[in-house]
Structure 1
Amino acid sequence: MNKKTILDINLTAKSVVIRVDYNVSLVKKESEYEVSGDVRIRESLKTINYILKQKPSRLVILSHLGRPEGKVDLKYSLEPVAHKLSELINIPVEFIKTTPNKSLVEEIKNKNNGEIIMLENLRFYPQEEKNDIEFSHILADLGDVYVNEAFSNCHRAHASIVGVSQYLSVVAGLGLEKEISMITKATESPEAPLVVIIGGAKATTKIPILEKLFVKADYVLLGGGVANTFLKALGFGIGQSIYSPESMRLCQNLIWKATRAKTRLLLPSDLVVGRFETGISAGIVDKEKIPLQMQALDIGPKTTSDYSEIIAQAKTIIWNGPMGAIEKPAFVGGNNAILHSVASNSGAVSVVGGGETLSAIELNEDIKHISHVSTGGGAMLELIEKDTLPGLEVLANK
């Protein structure tokens, strides 16, 4: 990556602003919210600890959480995230609820003793997603150095990702640099066999990555709503299962390509069926026998076994999107088994990503044995598809 990182600049006695992605899960306990999954916070610690060792005059942390749609919604407040970060680094983190404006900039400029400050959820303000010029200027005025550590938001042309670059040089954090390096390594020069695992609810968002990787992949393994769409495209009845009707023609085209390429495209041979709303499994059926009133909600044991055998042979693995309806405990078995198979292949470079995928695996011990767990969902997909992102384009060149 021919872009500047925090290793290329002097941070000592500088006011450093860092844009992170602390879009974590919160749970309400009694009257307060707590962080329930802290992988995204932990992923930023290497960069934050490096910055703190350089003794900046202050560190200002920016993030978003959830989709509050441009208005204050306390269930999306970053205050519990500030508490969790403070706990992880064992240093006080001052949380400021004030709307970013010129007065706040002046207030923060008076803090010059190495303070760590976290501002409230950027998406409480509509100017963030609109890439508002004045809002971008205010965020840039908070510091001397601006660090982008939010890979998962680099496909968004928002004020804190793109707009700030008009007023302040933006450099990459260590995590952002690693994301680009690992994803590029896995997609541009993969060691064969390359196994691509694609799941998730919507085939629409996954077709571009399938088309891009199809020529390089040795195996493509499908699950979730993506697999349902391909099954439907092949003429199988899928009952009431979720699928993407707008992607049927593209799926049929990829199936046709698979018959004329080295790539083997595999669909589930058996599935766990039930009804999502009840969260109860009604059993395992062959792909030809999905009951009319049922939904396919997870891959079955035979599919899991077949997929695992292929994964064990891989030298490069790219996985985006869960294998089933992971929101329900009855339908996480296939996903957990695939995660274990990927983690068990110590000889492969494995890149796992996607917001849904991260939610599904972040509390599983097998995650420790994955080469790289990407915090990016849409960003990972778009980087693979387009080889660049708006947030990467504006990084300062070396």
Structure 2
Amino acid sequence: MSNFRTLDAAGDLTGKTALVRVDFNVPMEDGRVTDDTRLRVALPTINKLRDAGAKVALLAHFGRPKGERVDSMSLEPVVAPLAALLGAPVRFATDCVGDEARAAIDDLDAGGVVLLENVRFHKGEEQNDPAFAAELAALGDLYVNDAFSAAHRAHGSTEGVARLLPAYAGESMRRELEALDAALGSPKKPVLGIVGGSKVSTKLDLLQNLVSKLDKLAIGGGMANTFLAAMGQDVAASLCEHDLGDTAREIIKAAEKAGCELLLPVDVVVATEVSPNAEARVRELGQLQPEEKILDAGPATVARLEKAMAESRTLIWNGPLGVFEVPPFDAATVRAARTAAALAQSGVLTAVAGGGDTVAALNHAGVVDDMTFVSTAGGAFLEWMEGKVLPGVEALRS
């Protein structure tokens, strides 16, 4: 984390206004917040700034209003639940720039909080228009990015304004960057990766980047079928991108060249339909019937993966090993997740996971709180794993 400026280096903040980019794109129903997780994530940064005597002006987006003011996408419903969590009043400004925003900030006492209206009500936000970024910057003395989930976008409130004010990583952003550095930047070796999910085509960049950085890479889910087929295995009626056989073989060669051991399934769980009532069978490779679909990794495959975890010091995980939403095809994912969590809790393994389906799968296994770190950032987490530059992060480098 020495490469990134954090709030610890911000100096005396008494009376200063901090523009804080947060992720308040929360689930809502009938104008009511139904899950306040993202509000809770922002509390450490908000409270740290309040305790330091700063005024806190929160920047956020909600939905995709495409540069137009859309009443149903206002952030105003967030104010009450946020105030309840903070145990302090939260003002609301009906715009994020201009006189309304300025007046709301000027009216705050030291330690006061105002939520500014949806930044995406302005076309300049997603266009990263310098004029819009300058309007934002005019409201504050410093900028804090606490929204890693939006850091892969070069928008006005994530990258543009960070170039115009002293810019720092918030507490949530700091934890995310530290965890990702521990997983891929400067990890304890050996490093094991697990990549699952349905399609190779959605994770080509990820796989090509990881084979050059990992000691072992386990591939699961539907994407494993594409690799098995590329190696001449019959995957019967399973989901498989047969047209990506050459690509799979290239990744296999790249892994061999980099000294990364690929762990593909050695046995599988099959059924003729994806349903809770389906009759599931364990098959060794080469034993599938024509109508059978591979829907989960088999017990021998999981046992080998558990052994690899025990021999590793760092694990980075993205994607389930099977159709975990439909038991009994959740067995491999649940068993592997619980093993990873137990090793993390014992201090043997640094276990970092992220990406949409991954979080849901780990929640299903009941181990989210037992992993070293679970990122809810989705696209930003994947782009980091792919080795791509994240504009919102780059703007925070020392």
TM-score, with structure 2 as normaliser: 0.83
- Segment of structure 1 superposing worse, 355-364 or 130-139: 355-364
Task: In structure 2, give the amino acid aligned to 1:107.
Answer: A
Q: Does 1:160 align with 2:157?
A: yes
Match of 1:55 in 2: 53
Shift of 1:363: 7.1
Match of 2:248 in 1: 251
Paired positions, count: 390
Match of 1:89 in 2: 86
TM-score, with structure 1 as normaliser: 0.83
Q: Distance in 2 between matches of 1:227 and 1:379?
A: 24
Match of 2:119 in 1: 122
Spell out, residue by residue over 1:118-140, the C-alpha distance to the aligned partner (whole angstroms, 9 max, x if none).
23443454432221233322322
Cα 1:302/1:363, change in 2 over 3 Å: closer
Match of 2:17 in 1: 15
Shift of 1:295: 5.4
Cα 1:361/1:120, change in 2 over 3 Å: farther
Q: Distance in 2 between matches of 1:47 and 1:363?
A: 29
Q: Distance in 2 between matches of 1:112 and 1:217?
A: 50
Out of 308, 311, 315, the position equivalent to 2:309 is 311
Q: Distance in 1 between matches of 2:74 and 2:358?
A: 24
Q: What are the equivalent positions in structure 2 for 1:63-78 lying under 5 Å apart?
A: 63-67=60-64, 69-70=66-67, 78=75
Spell out, residue by residue over 1:227-250, the C-alpha distance to the aligned partner (whole angstroms, 9 max, x if none).
233234334455665555675433
Q: Which structure has the larger Rg over C-alpha atoms?
A: 2
Q: Distance in 2 between matches of 1:175 and 1:183?
A: 12
Task: In structure 2, give the amino acid aligned to 1:323.
Answer: L
Task: In structure 2, give the amino acid aligned to 1:85.
Answer: L
Shift of 1:66: 4.6
Shift of 1:288: 4.7
Cα 1:342/1:394, change in 2 over 3 Å: same
Spell out, residue by residue over 1:201-241, the C-alpha distance to the aligned partner (whole angstroms, 9 max, x if none).
44234333333332442321112343233234334455665
Q: Does 1:184 align with 2:181?
A: yes
Contact 2:59 2:96 in 1 (8 A): no
Cα 1:284/1:63, change in 2 over 3 Å: farther
Cα 1:384/1:288, change in 2 over 3 Å: same
Q: Distance in 2 between matches of 1:146 and 1:76?
A: 24
Task: In structure 1, give the amino acid aligned to 2:98.
Answer: K
Q: What are the equivalent positions in structure 2 for 1:228-307 lying under 5 Å apart?
A: 228-238=225-235, 242=239, 247-259=244-256, 262-268=259-265, 269-271=267-269, 273=271, 281-286=278-283, 288=286, 296-307=294-305
Shift of 1:143: 1.8
Secondary structure in 2 aligned to 1:105?
A: helix
Q: Distance in 2 between matches of 1:176 and 1:229?
A: 36
Consecutive unaligned residues in structure 1, runs of 5 or more: none
Cα 1:23/1:69, change in 2 over 3 Å: same
Q: Does 1:367 align with 2:368?
A: yes
Q: Distance in 2 between matches of 1:147 and 1:214?
A: 34
Cα 1:270/1:174, change in 2 over 3 Å: same
Secondary structure in 2 aligned to 1:3?
A: coil
Cα 1:196/1:53, change in 2 over 3 Å: same
Shift of 1:293: 6.4
Contact 2:96 2:136 in 1 (8 A): yes
Q: Does 1:103 align with 2:104?
A: no
Q: Distance in 2 between matches of 1:81 and 1:284?
A: 48
Secondary structure in 2 aligned to 1:386?
A: coil
Task: In structure 1, give the amino acid aligned to 2:4.
Answer: K
Shift of 1:72: 5.7
